[in-house]
C-alpha cells in the first residue's frame, strides 16, 4: 500500500490524477450539456423535468454522481497543490514552461480553475441544492411518468430572467472555455498519449471542444433571458 501513498504524494502522481479527473469531467460536461439542451425544447419544460427526474432517481446515475462530486473536489484540490508547489519551486503560476510563447490560459490555470469551482458552487446552490434539500420547487405531472416530479424547469426560468445570474453564467462559460483550451490537450500530454499522427487531431479536437461546449451552455441562459421572459 506504500506505493499508493507515494504515488498520490509525488509530483508525477498528482499530475496523472489531475489529468484523469480532468478527462472524466470533460466527458461529464458533454453528458450534462445533452441533458441541459432539453431546455431548448418548446414543450413547457416537460423534457427537462423528465430528464431531471431520471438523473436524480436512477440508481446508477446516483452512484456515478457521488464519484463526480469527489472528482471535482479532488481536481480542484490538486490544482491548488500543483500551483503552490510550482510557485514555490520556480516562482511560476502553474505547471508550465517559462517560455514566453505559452498561452495566457496555460499560465493561469489555477486562477481559472478556482473561478470555475466558485461557479460550480453557485450553480449547485441554485439548482442541485434546491431540488435535493428544499421544498421550494412545485410538483408537476410529466407525460410518460406515473409520478409527479419537482419542477426544476420553472426554477431555471426564474434564474435566467435575472441579468446578474445570466451574466455570471456567461462569464463562467468564458472562463471554462479558457480552462479547457489548455487543459484538454494537456491532460493527454501528461498521460503520455502523444503521437506524431494523433496529437494534432487531439489538439484540434480540444480547441473545438473548448469553444463549442461552453458556447452551447452559454446559449441557454441567453436564450431564456432574451426570448422567454
For residue 91, pLDDT over 50 is answered with: yes
- CA separation, residue 24 to residues 30, 83, 107 (Å): 10, 21, 22
Confidence of residue 99 (pLDDT cuts 50, 70, 90): low
Computed over every residue of the chain, the mean pLDDT equals 88
Q: Which residue has the higher pLDDT, 66 or 194?
A: 66
For residue 36, pLDDT over 60 is answered with: yes
List the single range of 83-87, 145-149, 185-189 with lowest mean pLDDT: 83-87
- Kindly state the average pLDDT of the residues 48-75: 90
pLDDT per residue as tens digits for the range 170-211: 999 999 999 999 899 889 888 887 777 888 899 999 999 999
The Cα–Cα gap between 181 and 179 comes to 6
For residue 95, pLDDT over 50 is answered with: no
> DSSP letters of 66-118?
HHHHHHHHHHHHHHHHHHHHHHHHHS-SSSS---TTS-HHHHTHHHHHHHHHH
CA-based nearest residue to 155, from 174, 134, 184, 183: 134
| pLDDT at residue 228, as a whole number | 84
pTM of structure: 0.88
For residue 101, pLDDT over 70 is answered with: no
Q: Which residue has the higher pLDDT, 95 or 147?
A: 147
C-alpha distance across the termini of the chain, in Å: 57
Amino acid at each position: 500500500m506504500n506505493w499508493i501513498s507515494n504515488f498520490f504524494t509525488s509530483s508525477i502522481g498528482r499530475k496523472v490524477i489531475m489529468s484523469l479527473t480532468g478527462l472524466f469531467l470533460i466527458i461529464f460536461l458533454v453528458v450534462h450539456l445533452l441533458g441541459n439542451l432539453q431546455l431548448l425544447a418548446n414543450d413547457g419544460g416537460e423534457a427537462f423535468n423528465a430528464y431531471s427526474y431520471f438523473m436524480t432517481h436512477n440508481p446508477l446515475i446516483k452512484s456515478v454522481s457521488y464519484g463526480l462530486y469527489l472528482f471535482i473536489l479532488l481536481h480542484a484540490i490538486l490544482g491548488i497543490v500543483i500551483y503552490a508547489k510550482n510557485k514555490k519551486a520556480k516562482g511560476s503560476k502553474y505547471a508550465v514552461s517559462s517560455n514566453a510563447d505559452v498561452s495566457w490560459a496555460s499560465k493561469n490555470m489555477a486562477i481559472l480553475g478556482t473561478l470555475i469551482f466558485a461557479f460550480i458552487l453557485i450553480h449547485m446552490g441554485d439548482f442541485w441544492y434546491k431540488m435535493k434539500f428544499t421544498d421550494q420547487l412545485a410538483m408537476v405531472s410529466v407525460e410518460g411518468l406515473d409520478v409527479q416530479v419537482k419542477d426544476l424547469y420553472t426554477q431555471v426560468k426564474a434564474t435566467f430572467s435575472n441579468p446578474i445570474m445570466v451574466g455570471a453564467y456567461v462569464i463562467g462559460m468564458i472562463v471554462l472555455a479558457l480552462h479547457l483550451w489548455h487543459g484538454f490537450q494537456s491532460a493527454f500530454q501528461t498521460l503520455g498519449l502523444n503521437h506524431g499522427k494523433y496529437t494534432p487531431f487531439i489538439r484540434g479536437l480540444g480547441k473545438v471542444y473548448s469553444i463549442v461546449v461552453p458556447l452551447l451552455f452559454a446559449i441557454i441562459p441567453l436564450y431564456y433571458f432574451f426570448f422567454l421572459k
